[in-house]
């Protein structure tokens, strides 16, 4: 149930309503909006009687929320959520580019790539310090040493850092060094990790599971938001299909569905979707045409020597050209307007 306060409701009235909701045995979750405050009523085991709260001072109306995902639903919050990290805003209009190597390999490597992608228009640096790999014999990342390298890149370039967390044991460490914590496709339904992310003070990027439905994806985001963290970015990174010509299949139709269903910003990862350098550009341009809020793109200054996913990493000069194309397509689509 969503309880909508009047536009002129005072803070005392809002606090009183929250106290009454919690006194009734429910959980109250305030949802500030552009023009009014709404309060989500959660953890009710049955229908909530609207008459119980309808007459309280400052209350405008009560609206049933029909979706299984309550807090991430656009029914609960019609306005788009904007995720902010200092001067970087995801969901405010201009697509935010997150670029860098799949894995952090050395300070020299990351610093060179970081300076290059910033010049090309990237606002965030991506790089894995902890790497979940299919094979236990593959490079697993540098761990805390890699996080320190990412921090050095931020200090030198001003780029915000997004990097993946793999488990609860290392969450505090990753959160300390990063500006945004990434939960990867393999962990989308790691519910203990999602709950921990809900307590984080940093924004969370939630990648879609490689075989997840949109409802499962949004329910995973609900786990995070239910614990209190509403700074969530959804990332469509491709799903497993019968296709053999690409690593995954980028589900661009999911962008429009998620936009309709949820207020959270949504980005794409064309690198992991395609899995081949020649596919990254076309998928990124298609994503720009869909009006996504940002993209994660892998860039490496020496892909042939990369310790992880070199075959899908762009050269810096390729990223530079692609970044301009992304911004141009985005501006064109925004100028033309939606159909």
| Residue 110 tokens, joined | 């990351």
β-bridge pairing 37-42 and 180-183: unpaired
**How high is the pLDDT of residue 338?**
67
Q: Any bridge partners for residue 262, and if so which?
A: 73
Please tell me the predicted confidence (pLDDT) of residue 6: 92
**Per DSSP, which regions of the chain are E strands?**
2-5, 27-32, 37-42, 59-63, 83-85, 88-90, 96-100, 124-126, 160-164, 180-183, 204-207, 232-236, 266-268, 294-298
Q: 18-34 pLDDT, tens per residue?
A: 999 999 999 999 988 77
For 335, list phi and psi in degrees, rounded to 5. Answer: -65, -40
CATH architecture of 83-336: Alpha-Beta Barrel (3.20)
| Residues β-bridged to residue 242 | none
Checking if the pLDDT of 339 tops 80, the result is no
Which residues have a Cβ under 8 Å from the Cβ of 284 and sit 6 or more positions away? 268, 270, 295, 297, 322, 325, 326
Q: Where exactly does CATH 3.20.20.70 map onto the chain?
A: 83-336
Q: Residue 154: its pLDDT value, please?
A: 98
Residue 33's pLDDT is what? 76
pLDDT tens digit sequence for 228-284:
999 999 999 999 999 889 999 999 999 999 999 999 999 999 999 999 999 999 999
CB-CB contact of 94 with 40 (8 Å): no
Residues 166-176 have a mean pLDDT of 96
Least-confidence region, from 2-16, 34-48, 114-128, 288-302: 34-48
Per residue in 107-164, pLDDT tens?
A: 999 999 999 999 999 999 999 999 887 888 788 889 999 999 999 999 999 999 999 9
Which two structure tokens, joined as six digits, stand for 154?
Answer: 């931020």
Residue position matching structure tokens 């910003």: 265
**What is the percent of the chain where pLDDT is above 90?**
83
Rounded to an integer, what distance in angstroms lies between the CA atom of residue 85 and that of residue 202?
8
CATH 3.30.70.1140 placement within the chain: 2-63
- Mean pLDDT, rounded, of the chain: 94
pLDDT of residue 43: 86
For the stretch 208-242, pLDDT in tens is 999 999 999 999 999 999 999 999 999 999 999 99
Domain 2-63 belongs to what topology? Alpha-Beta Plaits (3.30.70)
Residues facing 125 on adjacent strands? 99, 161
Whether the CB-CB separation of 270 and 298 falls below 8 Å is answered with no
């Amino acid at each position: 149930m969503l309880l909508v306060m009047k536009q002129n409701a005072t803070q005392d009235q809002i606090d009183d309503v929250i106290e009454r909701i919690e006194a009734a045995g429910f959980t109250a979750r305030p949802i500030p909006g552009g023009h009014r405050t709404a309060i989500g009523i959660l953890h009710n085991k049955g229908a909530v009687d609207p008459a119980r709260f309808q007459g309280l001072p400052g209350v405008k109306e009560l609206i049933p929320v029909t979706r299984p995902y309550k807090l991430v639903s656009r029914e609960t919050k019609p306005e788009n959520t904007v995720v902010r990290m200092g001067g970087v805003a995801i969901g405010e209009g201009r697509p935010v580019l997150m670029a860098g190597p799949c894995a952090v390999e050395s300070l020299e490597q990351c610093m060179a790539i970081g300076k290059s992608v910033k010049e090309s228009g990237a606002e965030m640096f991506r790089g894995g310090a902890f790497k979940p790999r299919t094979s236990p014999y593959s490079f697993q990342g540098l761990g805390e040493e890699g996080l320190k390298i990412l921090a050095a890149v931020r200090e030198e370039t001003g780029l915000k850092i997004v990097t993946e967390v793999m488990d609860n044991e290392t969450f505090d460490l990753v959160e300390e060094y990063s500006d945004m914590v990434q939960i990867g496709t393999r962990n989308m339904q790691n519910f203990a990790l999602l709950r921990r992310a809900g307590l984080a003070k940093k924004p969370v990027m939630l990648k879609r599971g490689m075989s997840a439905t949109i409802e499962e994806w949004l329910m995973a985001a609900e786990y995070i938001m239910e614990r209190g963290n509403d700074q969530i970015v959804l990332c469509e990174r491709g799903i497993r299909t019968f296709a053999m010509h690409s690593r995954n299949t980028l589900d661009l139709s999911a962008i429009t569905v998620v936009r309709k269903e949820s207020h959270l910003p949504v980005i794409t990862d064309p690198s992991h979707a395609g899995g081949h350098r020649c596919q990254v550009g076309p998928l990124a341009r298609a994503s720009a045409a869909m009006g996504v809020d940002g993209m994660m793109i892998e860039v490496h200054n020496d892909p042939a020597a990369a310790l992880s996913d070199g075959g899908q990493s762009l050269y810096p000069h390729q990223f530079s050209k692609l970044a301009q194309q992304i911004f141009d397509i985005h501006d064109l689509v925004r100028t033309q307007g939606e159909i």
